[in-house]
Amino acid sequence: MHLPTVLSVVFAAAGVTAQLNDLAVAAGLKYFGTCGSEGNINSDTTYRNILNNKSEFGQLVPENGQKWDATEPSRGQFTYSSGDIVAGVAKQNGQLLRCHTLVWYSQLPSWGNVTVSGGSWNRSTLQSVIETHINNVMGHYKGQCYAWDVVNEAVNDDGTWRPSVFLSTFNTDYFAISFRAAKAADPNTKLYYNDYNLEYNQAKTDRAVELVKIVQAAGAPIDGVGFQGHLIVGSTPSRSALATTLKRFTALGVEVAYTELDIRHSSVPASSSALVTQGNDFANVVGSCLDVAGCVGVTIWGFTDKYSWIPQTFPGQGDALLYNSNFGKKPAWTSVSSVLAAKATNPPPAQTTTLATITTAPPAQTTTTSRPAVSTTSAAAPGGAQQTRWGQCGGIGWSGPTACQSPWTCQVLNPYYSQCL
Ligand code: 9MR
């Protein structure tokens, strides 16, 4: 039987679907989400229907609609027609909304002959422009955003501060200015610093750690750091290395999340073995989030290879997502669902005994009162216990029973999930 089908049977019996957000929540995350591409929502029904599915994606991010050039195309003139598209879908479906992004060197507007990036600003005038922008945009979405990317991509890959009108005007003071303005505009949303290539734990990561410390030392609020996760098949760090890097930030008292995950092939079409490697890479990233208390969720930067920013930016590369161009689920989808399912069915020993724990909430908050029919065997049972039909019996991170009740046998479906079939 095909794994998604197997998982569907198991989780349907337990009261949840084997879809990514349901599995992620069952595994203890707040969400599994995707960005939504404004242009395709009303033109592609298949795309829209998948995006609408809260069991698959419990959180959405506007891909472009909330950026500065979209929201304040003329100075002091605000428009939300694009930003409201994805926000509206999330609202309609009861999905969380991640909001993206406020102070970024890119996608800045042209304001006649006075551009944000090219204008001759002093501290006072540019601070007023930043505060006006943040106040208006966050004001419009007040109460709707689980989190906001307040400052985006302020560090170069070599660990130096990225040049921008903000850096040249304020040096690093613009971080605290932006986070303070954000707190004033919407005190109840999580305020994030968001960047790519933090995953490699090198000079750029060191500088991002410093950024968080700078904001904190200024007495300004910062709640989270977003690891964008624009990664490359075969060059993605291991699960444990990724977890180590995430923990550098949670040690500072902020939460972390993967915010724009995609893992691209260096050349397409990908071979079948490259598709498997891609699946393992995705599982390592998602698994690292599961391994770190304080990693709240994973967002992929689009779900279908049909629509992705990558081929335009990296010609000849791509196919970086979980669904192919025909909306078929790729091996990477199976790997992600498996690593989530493994955690959902294998909560820490002190917390539970059966699959019933996955029906309502993260393991720490649940009880073990029902649905013994799904799995009568303790997930953390001592040696000798035998798993029932459909139950997990192996896989990376699994510490429960590895034998199956007769006549079922333990079959390896992938490195993360073996099952009694
Ligand atoms: O996916 C976005 C693409 O449609 C835009 O053309 C591009 C413009 O800069 O931005 C892309 O999204 C970026 C995100 O906002 C910030 N991190 C990097 C993403 C990929 O470039």
Q: Using one digit for the tens of pLDDT, what is the confidence trace for 358-406?
A: 222 222 322 333 322 222 233 333 447 887 655 667 765 557 788 888 8
128-144 mean pLDDT: 97
Average pLDDT, the chain: 87
CA of 106 to the centre of ligand 1 (A): 9
User: Rounded CA gap, 305 and 344, in Å?
Assistant: 28
User: Rounded CA gap, 174 and 172, in Å?
Assistant: 5
Would you call 260 a catalytic residue per the annotation? Answer: yes
For 2, 25, 407, the CA distances from 9, given in Å and listed in that order, are 11, 18, 18
User: Contact, 50 vs 75, CB < 8 A?
Assistant: no
57-69 mean pLDDT: 97
User: Contact, 286 vs 305, CB < 8 A?
Assistant: no
User: Rounded CA gap, 207 and 400, in Å?
Assistant: 41
**Fold observed for domain 16-373:** TIM Barrel (3.20.20)
Q: What pLDDT, on a 0 to 100 scale, did the predictor assign at position 400? A: 76
Would you call 72 a catalytic residue per the annotation? Answer: no
308 lines ligand 1 (CB under 6 A): no
Which residue type is seen at 42?
Answer: N
Q: How confident is the model at residue 77 (pLDDT cuts 50, 70, 90)?
A: very high
Residue with token string 């290879």: 305
228 lines ligand 1 (CB under 6 A): yes
Looking at 75-221, which runs of residues are DSSP E strands?
96-104, 147-152, 190-195
283-301 mean pLDDT: 98
Helix axes 173-185, 123-140, angle to 10 degrees: 30
Q: Which span out of 83-97, 349-363, 377-391 was modeled with the highest average pLDDT?
A: 83-97
3-class DSSP state for residue 149?
strand
Q: Is the dihedral of CA 349, 352, 355, 359 positive or negative?
A: negative
Q: What pLDDT, on a 0 to 100 scale, did the predictor assign at position 381? A: 38
- What residue segments make up the domains of the chain, in order of their start? 16-373
Q: What pLDDT, on a 0 to 100 scale, did the predictor assign at position 415? A: 56
64 lines ligand 1 (CB under 6 A): yes
